[in-house]
Amino acid sequence: MRLLVRLVGAVSASLWFAVAAQAAVSVTPVSFAVRIQNTSLVPCLGAGSGPATIAGTLVAPDPLPQGVTLYLHGLGFGKWFWHFYPGSALDFATRLAEQGHASVIIDRLGYGDSDRPDGNQSCIGVQADIAHQIVGQLRGQFSKVALAGHSAGGAVAQVEAYSYHDVDALIVASYADQGASPDALAAFLQGGGECLTSTRHYGHFGQTAADFAHLMFNNPRPIIGKLPLVDSEPTAYQNVIADATQMRELDPCGDYNSIALEIVLSQLLLSQIQKPVLLVCGDKDAVFPPPACDLQALHFQTNPDFTHTTIAGAGHAITLGFTAAAFRDGVSSWLTDRGF
């Protein structure tokens, strides 16, 4: 296994908000050689085997800090979820780097620039195993590694944390193992049904663009308002929704097929995670509406360093809405307090 890093230049800081002292930021393509396998505590049937390449980006201050966070996206997204409109106010990773934090964002197996085998070769356990392999590779460059996951990426991150106990901190955003909305359950079943007829076994979470927008952005009005994405170019929020919807990805069917077992086992095993955990949700989440995350918090009640935050007004796509800064700054502060 190896970590390949190439410096490609710096990204300018957005002037949308004031920061007392911004660090110079570098954006670096990275590549991870991994094996498709499942040694996690969440089994799955029919998972594949063999080598794969996972593509990602290291977004970090210069010089590099001692700690790094590996970010996993959810269904329908890619690494762009954490690096949206690069250099803008919605560029989570760049804004975090300006505050001194290093982030590795990846396209999970089956997405974006990473290898895309038959969708049945993947599953939640395979995705967790791959995250574990990447964490191990990051240890060669960083002394502390945190793991963060959004939505289904949060499920993967949880499984990695309690299967391998190799991360120094865990962040779960917009995910709960119970309390999904009827719309989310319907979208999940429809995606699973699509998998039955897909030749390469990939499906959509949300069969139409409107379905996806409703789930991710909580049924937005045609024009919600203006969001200054860069200092000189205010853009309507509807454009953010349209662009994110156009960029959405198909999901590996093996992940759909294995999520039910993850839900059962995680409710039994989450208490084994004793490293710092941050659970962040929005109170306008159309996938996991309240009290889903309050119930999720109960699984961490024996953790000595557990933080549960609900962001008022935040939808499921928590990095892409009007409350993006609240989420980002909360994550930044939490990481800083834990030595990242």
pLDDT digits over 208-243, tens only?
988 999 999 875 443 334 444 433 333 557 888 889
- Which residues in 156-186 are b (16+ Cβ under 10 Å) and which e? bbbbbbbbbeebbbbbbbbbbbebbbebbee
Q: What pLDDT score does 228 carry?
A: 42
Q: How large a percentage of the chain has pLDDT more than 90?
A: 80
d(CA 308, CA 300): 10
Cβ 245 vs Cβ 212: under 8 Å: yes
Dihedral angle computed from the Cα positions of residues 9, 15, 16 and 17, in that order, rounded to the nearest 10 degrees:
110
Q: What pLDDT score does 232 carry?
A: 35
Nearest to 83 by CA among 146, 30, 139: 30
Structure tokens at 223: 């024009």
pLDDT band at 153; cut points 50, 70, 90: very high
**pLDDT tens-place string over residues 171-189:** 999 999 999 999 999 999 9
Is pLDDT of 249 > 80?
Answer: yes
pLDDT average, residue stretch 200-213: 93
User: Domain tally for the chain?
Assistant: 1
In a domain? residue 220:
no
In a domain? residue 285:
yes
pLDDT band at 108; cut points 50, 70, 90: very high
Domain of 57: which CATH number?
A: 3.40.50.1820
In a domain? residue 286:
yes
In a domain? residue 207:
no
Helices 253-269 and 182-195, interaxial angle, to 10°?
A: 130
pLDDT band at 22; cut points 50, 70, 90: low
Residue numbers of the domain that contains 151: 3-180+255-337
Q: pTM of this prediction?
A: 0.89
Q: What pLDDT score does 45 carry?
A: 82
In a domain? residue 74:
yes
Is pLDDT of 68 > 70?
Answer: yes
Is pLDDT of 134 > 60?
Answer: yes
In a domain? residue 105:
yes
Is pLDDT of 8 > 90?
Answer: no
Q: What pLDDT score does 239 carry?
A: 85
Cβ 303 vs Cβ 159: under 8 Å: no
In a domain? residue 242:
no
Indicate the residue type of 168. Answer: D
d(CA 169, CA 274): 9
Indicate the residue type of 269. Answer: L
**pLDDT tens-place string over residues 300-323:** 999 999 999 999 999 999 999 888
Q: Which of 133-142, 164-173, 316-325 has the lowest mean pLDDT?
A: 316-325
- Between strands 144-150 and 67-72, the pairing is parallel
User: Would you call the peptide bond into 220 cis, given omega within 30 degrees of 0 as the criterion?
Assistant: no
In a domain? residue 93:
yes
